[in-house]
Amino acid sequence: MFTRKSYDAVVVGSGPNGLAAAISIAQAGRSVLVLEAAETIGGGSRSANLTLPGFTHDICSAIHPLTVASPFFRTLPLEKYGLEWVYPPAALAHPMDDGTAVLAERSVEATAANLGVDKAAYQRMMAPLVANSEGLLADLLGPLPMPPRHPMTLVRFGLRALWPAQGLANIQFKGERARALFGGLAAHAMLPLGDIATASFGLVLGVTAHAVGWPMPKGGAQKITDALAALLRSLGGEIASGITVRSMSDLPAHRVVLFDVTPRQLLHIAGDSLPSGYRRSLEHYRYGAGVFKVDWALDGPVPWKAKEVNQAATVHLGGTLAEIAASERAVARGDPSDKPYVLLVQHSLFDASRAPEGKATAWAYCHVPNGSQIDMTDPIEKQIERFAPGFRDRIIARSIMDPAAMERHNANNIGGDINGGIQDLRQLYTRPAIRLVPYTTPNEAVFICSSSTPPGGGVHGMCGFFAARAALRQLR
């Protein structure tokens, strides 16, 4: 099944981080094999026909600011392998109950102009960070930068980033529009917005909206995976799917192995080859909230009350900052809100290949407690109806994935956690355990390269890139 008896490196898992790791290793002239449990490769970057023939849905990742911002992916000729980016005019829309919407546009000025009393405050907060975004994102998309390469920008960022998102939004802004926009961005943290450092998520995602945009690949997230896989193969790398690695004895001969899995799986597969102290750290690793996801095939686009929502693919539904904060608090309490904060993406408005002519797709999820079995279909659809009356009349078919279905789809989504572990301040840089180089383990041949290492979740490949760097040092 494999072309060689032995490889320099084996990568277990073909998510964006697994493929990024394999590409880095192949670029260094080493032999590498990727083993993937699922029949299809790509982990959290896959697309499928989830509802009806002719409709293409992204099963997991849908919008890719971190892919285009990734210092590693930016160096790869992925366009040569079929990847084509589609940029909606605005990064995101946040409809309000008064029938208008706040837009995060590419320009800081244009966005601020839509924020009434908070025009100047928004510009003061965002403009300096956006002006230095390349350095800032390079520092943030990796392990703790010691020393930081761009200290002044990092200090300016850190002074606000360490705040709880709700506190920062309430202090910086006077009006509901700017507060809601910031709350919707920060809620990507999947943490209560009163928690320390949740503002960092609002700032980073806000910076990406202005600095790089929030694009989608034409044809679906699978196209990112397909381009990475084609590039890997062109470099001599191999990929084998439909192979679940259950123990170290399942691996062909290798000098190093990189695991694109989370700590719980690493313990099962390689626990016997790791010392007890490290094993204990992995046992204490914490997972976060899960997601409940719905995809729809629609008889036409979502009928938004605020027409400006049609300028963005990503839509944050939840109304005011206070309401979004209440929804995230409820998830943390274990009792999801019946008015959840909903992330919605309307791909087909900007990419006609996703649905038959005249029809449309919509993708959405809300946060739920880890492993929750509560059906959130109705609360999610009610939130959409609130800002788009008549939405339900356009539904032709729907696909529903609760946390258990997310985990069946990809074993890394433990209890529906899409980030490979909670991303609070305590665990962001110490994932999966406290080590100088977090991608290494006490076993010199074993590395971890998934989003359970810094910088965490998202399709950026930086966990894989840094893990490969560590593994290549060992190979030398």
Tell me the pairing of strands 57-58 and 47-48: antiparallel
Q: Which stretch in 32-40, 114-122, 321-329, 429-437 sits in contact with ligand FAD by CB under 6 A?
A: 32-40
Tell me the pairing of strands 85-86 and 216-217: antiparallel
Q: Is 17 in the site for ligand FAD (CB under 6 A)?
A: yes
Q: Decide: residue 329, CB within 10 A, 0-12 exposed, 13-18 middle, 19+ buried.
A: middle
Q: Which of 418, 447, 449 is nearest to 44 (CA)?
A: 418
Beta-bridge mates of residue 253: 6
- Contact residue for ligand FAD among 7, 10, 16, 270 (CB under 6 A): 16
Query: In whole angstroms, how far apart are CA 326 and each of 57, 166, 319?
Result: 30, 10, 11
| SS3 of 50-102 | CCCCCCCEECCCCCCHHHHHCCCHHHCCHHHHCCCEECCCEEEEEECCCCCEE
Residue closer to ligand FAD (CB basis): 8 or 36: 36
Q: Is 379 in the site for ligand FAD (CB under 6 A)?
A: no
Q: Is 293 in the site for ligand FAD (CB under 6 A)?
A: yes
Question: Token pair 């005019």 is at which residue?
Answer: 89
Cβ of residue 8: shortest distance to ligand FAD, in angstroms?
19
Cβ of residue 244: shortest distance to ligand FAD, in angstroms?
5
Question: Token pair 């997230």 is at which residue?
Answer: 221
Which phi-psi region, left, alpha or beta, contains residue 303 (left: φ > 0; alpha: ψ -120 to 50)? beta
Cβ of residue 417: shortest distance to ligand FAD, in angstroms?
9
Cβ of residue 1: shortest distance to ligand FAD, in angstroms?
14
Burial 195-207 (b: 16+ CB within 10 A, else e): bbbbbbbbbbbbb
Cβ of residue 117: shortest distance to ligand FAD, in angstroms?
31
Q: Which stretch in 12-20, 108-116, 124-132, 201-209 sits in contact with ligand FAD by CB under 6 A?
A: 12-20
Residue closer to ligand FAD (CB basis): 122 or 447: 447
Residue closer to ligand FAD (CB basis): 11 or 115: 11
Residue closer to ligand FAD (CB basis): 18 or 206: 18
Residue closer to ligand FAD (CB basis): 112 or 291: 291
The residues, ordered by sequence, that sit 6+ positions from 417 with a Cβ below 8 Å of its Cβ are 287, 288, 289, 290, 370
Q: Is 291 in the site for ligand FAD (CB under 6 A)?
A: yes
Residue closer to ligand FAD (CB basis): 183 or 215: 215
Question: Token pair 């359970």 is at which residue?
Answer: 452
Q: Is 238 in the site for ligand FAD (CB under 6 A)?
A: no
Q: Is 208 in the site for ligand FAD (CB under 6 A)?
A: no
DSSP tag of 352: G
Length of the chain: 476
- Contact residue for ligand FAD among 32, 33, 37, 467 (CB under 6 A): 37
Measured distance CA(323)–CA(233) in Å, rounded: 48
- Contact residue for ligand FAD among 261, 297, 317, 344 (CB under 6 A): 261
Q: Is 36 in the site for ligand FAD (CB under 6 A)?
A: yes
Alpha-carbon torsion, ordered 4, 6, 7, 11, to 10 deg:
100
Beta-bridge mates of residue 475: none
Residue closer to ligand FAD (CB basis): 40 or 474: 40
Number of residues in contact with ligand FAD under rule CB under 6 A: 42
Q: Which positions from 239 to 258 touch ligand FAD by CB under 6 A, shown as an x/- string?
A: -----xx-------------
- Contact residue for ligand FAD among 410, 427, 440, 441 (CB under 6 A): 410
Q: Is 432 in the site for ligand FAD (CB under 6 A)?
A: no
Residues that bind ligand FAD (CB under 6 A): 12-18, 35-38, 43-45, 60-64, 66, 244-245, 260-261, 265, 291, 293, 365, 406, 410-413, 418-420, 450-451, 457-459, 463
